[in-house]
Chain A
């Protein structure tokens, strides 16, 4: 199963576009790693999802493998950190990435 990376953002957050851009670049380079979805907190559905995940700061990136959370990054990661989070995750150790 392909992992899903959700990025929680808001239009007023100055660093959110950078976080989205980096995730997108990684996906372009390694498309097999994950599916990408942005969740905006500017609407109720996004806010509800953020509260369900106990999001307090944005951007926050959450990687799920099905229902299981694989890793979470709060703030804007640099590319090396983002990629390493996938490569060092339990999914990678199982040979699934």
Chain B
């Protein structure tokens, strides 16, 4: 697991720095997607999350969920096109799960892209992700990540 100014970036995940999301290859042609530790810190205390419904089609760069925090309302964007195969109802009923467990319990949707391996090839992993997020954090004046008590990663 990599850590950047207290921001956790798991080495087994793929990242879209532009959209500040992580992607997990589920091995069956689908992927799981959620907000990064950096994204949940920037959002602040998340109070609402509404993922798209199962069966919905998503275009590249478009929203898979709407998130509202105390200081921000905005979309969680997918780095590729696909069909929503599952939505995490838990984050709709307890949006703070995204703050507490952004990479585990706080996943937002599962998607089926047309070509998983090709899409994952366009994302970053490991050291490359860390380097790009370092630049991203500098550009956005994000000093580091804040983890509240109970944070599970």
Contact = CB atoms under 8 A, between A and B. Distances in A.
Chain B facing A: main interface SS: loop
A75 B148 CA distance: 8
Contact of A75 (B6, B144, B149): B149
Nearest to A44: B143
A15 interface: yes
Given A11-B70, A12-B70, A59 B149 contact: yes
Nearest to A60: B149
Contact of B149 (A47, A48, A51, A57): A57
Contacts of B44: 11-12
Contacts of A10: 146, 148
B86 to A, nearest CB: 28
B132 interface: no
B99 interface: yes
Interface in A55-75: 56-59, 74-75
B110 to A, nearest CB: 27
Chain A CB count within 10 A is highest, among B45, B69, B96, for B45
A51 B6 CA distance: 9
A13 B151 CA distance: 11
Interface residues of B, number: 16
A11 B144 CA distance: 16
Contact of A12 (B6, B144, B146): B146
A16 B149 CA distance: 9
Interface string B79-98: 00000000000000000100
A15 B149 contact: yes
Contacts of A58: 146-149
Given A12-B99, A44-B143, A51-B143, A76 B45 contact: no
A74 B69 CA distance: 25
A15 B144 contact: no
A26 interface: no
Nearest to A54: B6
6 contacts: A10-B146, A11-B44, A12-B45, A12-B146, A13-B149, A75-B149
Nearest 7 pairs of A and B residues by beta carbon: A12-B45, A13-B148, A12-B44, A75-B149, A47-B143, A15-B149, A57-B147
